Amino acid sequence: MFQPALRTLAILGLLAYTSFAHRDEEVITRDIAIIGGGASGTFSAVRLRDQGKSVILIEKESILGGHTNTYQDPVTKVPVDYGVEVFHAQQIVKDYLDRLNVSWVVAPNFGVGSIYLDGQTAQPINYTSPDLPVARWQELLQPFGDFLAKHPDINNASLTIFRFGQGLGDFLVQPTLYVFKNFGLEIVQALSTGFLAVTSQNNYEIYDHATKLLGSDVLLSSTVISTLHREDNGVTLVVQTPSGRRIVKAKKLLIAIPQKLENLRAFDLDHHEAGLFGQFKNTGYWTSLVTNTGLPAGFNTISVGADTPYNLPNVPLVYAVVPTAIDGIFDIKYGSQSSLPDDHVRREILSYVKKLQDNGFAEKVEPEFVRFNSHTPFELTVSPEKIRGGFYKQLYGLQGYRGTWYTGAAFHTQDSSLLWNFTESHVLPGLLK
């Protein structure tokens, strides 16, 4: 109800801004302003530029890459990818990496040699991985737990599906649709034919090369602090950068950050937009590298549940403790059904390592974080009722509304390759027009 008044204020603000207040402020004029330099935003910037559009990519962190986390041993320079690991061997991925001069290989399966431990107590569990069945696809709106109960023929696959669905929170209550979007045909195929991996095993190479390619078309450590105008005839944004404020004027806007209301406050949402984005719930997901654990080299676990349906572990939990290419450093990931404070998650991870020590897997020493990253909000979901009621139809209906387009996992799925494919075929055409 305050929207028109706010809009008027914003326009007055724009006049005041441009005519009096900050006369010296640099104005950046481009065809397309892109918000968020993760998988989708960076891809969009490269592809739009290559097709003759001028772009500006605005990323709040000091590097591009979003969920990509790469740590390099300061001495040996050995890289460890503890965020995004692998891609699909699709043409779009090969073309994109070739464009960025990033060498790739199609590698055999990854993630072998783990032992099963209880997700809460870190005690060994008498669990053997069952044979994988052929999946059946239907009744996608029911909670995944109900779906499994009705389909005993895929029960054997539940823990494998769970491993690929890290970050999806409580599997048994999530609508089945989200589970299968994360464990779709491409994943099933890649399990036998192999995933595509960056040869150097340093996924940040993609974003390092993209940063160099994009040059001054990237604003790092920058955020949009307000929107002065956003309509079919263009957008005007105020952006805070490390070297002061900039006015960004663009014909079109592409929002490639997780579309939660709290992330979109600076974009002057109207009631229709806010009403849709306000419906998203989110899970929590964290990555870390931990040293001085007391664990023996090669220690490798997957969390399961002792007395839970299908041996799926309860959330929140440590998903797995996996050795890395760097001696003494373990990759530990954590997940929850909704957001949690980072400090709480840090304590939970360290307390799990202590449990491993108490349970005799490790010597009693003081574990320390080498890296800790929040990927929260991770999976954005709405209820089955909302999906049935046409939520996604309305969400997709926002493409192009008020000069604004959207991409990213909330519009498709948490998978870089599939997001590049989706962005290329369903989002960029609207921006290229």
Ligand X SMILES: *[C@@H]1O[C@H](CO)[C@@H](O)[C@H](O)[C@H]1NC(C)=O
Q: Which residues bind ligand X (CB under 6 A)?
A: 90-92, 100-101, 126, 130-131, 133, 153, 156, 186, 209, 213, 421
> 3-state DSSP call for residue 118?
strand
Q: Does 375 bind ligand FAD (CB under 6 A)?
A: yes
Judged by CB under 6 A, which of 17, 33, 34, 36 binds ligand FAD?
Answer: 36
Residues 295/361, Cβ–Cβ less than 8 Å: yes
**Distance separating alpha carbons of residues 109 and 311, to the nearest angstrom:** 23
Task: Tell me: does residue 201 bind ligand FAD (CB under 6 A).
Answer: no
- The CB-of-84 to ligand X minimum distance in angstroms stands at 18
* From ligand X, ligand FAD, none, interface partner of 126 (C-beta below 5 to 8 A by class): ligand X
Closest CA to 14 of 231, 218, 221, 217: 231
With CB cut-offs between 5 and 8 Å by kind, which of ligand FAD, ligand X, none does residue 209 bind?
A: ligand X
CA distance to 47, 116, 129, 154, 347, per residue, from 148 (Å): 40, 21, 17, 7, 33
What are the DSSP calls for 40-59, one per residue? HHHHHHHHHHHTT--EEEE-
- Which does residue 36 bind out of ligand X, ligand FAD, none, counting CB within 5 to 8 angstroms by kind? ligand FAD
Q: Does residue 58 belong to the site contacting ligand FAD (CB under 6 A)?
A: yes
CB of 124 to ligand X, least distance (A): 9
For 12, phi then psi, to 5°, come to: -60, -40
Residues between 240 and 259 with contacts to ligand FAD, criterion CB under 6 A: 256-257
Residue 221 is classified by DSSP as: T
> Which of these segments, 311-319, 364-372, 382-390, 412-420, binds ligand FAD (CB under 6 A)?
412-420
Closest to ligand X by CB, 170 or 415: 415
By beta-carbon proximity to ligand FAD, the closer residue of 66 and 316 is: 66
User: 223-231 and 218-219: which strand pairing?
Assistant: unpaired
91 binds, among ligand X, ligand FAD, none (CB under 5 to 8 A by kind): ligand X
Site string for ligand FAD, 68-97 (x = CB under 6 A): ---------------xxxxx----------
